[in-house]
Amino acid sequence: MEQQSLRMNDCLENVVKEYSKMVYRLAFSQTRNKSDADDIFQEVFYRYIRKKPQFKTEEHRKAWLIRVTVNCCKKMWTSIWIGKKLSLIVQKDEPIVFKMKEETNLHYELQKLPMKYRAVIHLFYYEDLSIEEISKALNQKPSTIRTQLTRARYKLKEILKEDYDV
């Protein structure tokens, strides 16, 4: 028997509206380009539609979407077919325009941050998740997340120098 969701807002439209920015920004934080973020965004929600996952709480839904987004980014990156994929679909790279120059600069500086740290930095600094919450969402030990965060901050300090207090 199919498990019934306890939530009222399982309607796809509500879920997409509620989490579209979170998924997209997390994807963008890792790819740092719009066309890849578009692909990840679509893949995450197509998986959601296909799998029809049931959640007891919104926290579980959010964690699922975070985990799938990060996994899709990893898969895109590690896929040996990435070159083939890029040649098969029409390229639509559009440089993202930020209001302030320092935001554009920050965007470019963040491209220097190793891929493996981008998700923890985003979830910690933008989604305001604790190490515990990140570890649950990414299915990793809190100690691993803490180590990644410490190393990521250290890297960020190197990259951003004294421009920002990380």
Site for other proteins in 87-126 (CB under 8 A): 87-89, 91, 93, 96, 98-100, 102-103, 106-107, 111, 114-116, 121-122, 124-126
How many residues at the interface with other proteins, by CB under 8 A?
77
CB-based burial label for 145 (10 Å; 0-12, 13-18, 19+): buried
Selected from 59, 78, 140, 161, the binder of other proteins by CB under 8 A is 78
Closest by CA to 32, choosing from 133, 89, 99, 117, is: 117
Selected from 6, 46, 56, 139, the binder of other proteins by CB under 8 A is 46
Lookup: tokens for 47: 């998986």
Q: Could you tell me which stretch among 2-10, 54-62, 73-81 binds other proteins (CB under 8 A)?
A: 73-81
Neighbours of 43 (CB within 10 A): 19
6 binds other proteins (CB under 8 A): no
58 binds other proteins (CB under 8 A): no
Nearest approach, Cβ of residue 41 and other proteins (Å): 5
63 binds other proteins (CB under 8 A): no
Q: 7 or 160: whose CB is closer to other proteins?
A: 160
Q: Which residues neighbour 162 within 8 Å (Cβ) at sequence distance 6 or greater?
A: none
Q: How far apart are CA 153 and CA 88, in angstroms?
A: 37
Closest by CA to 40, choosing from 74, 90, 13, is: 74
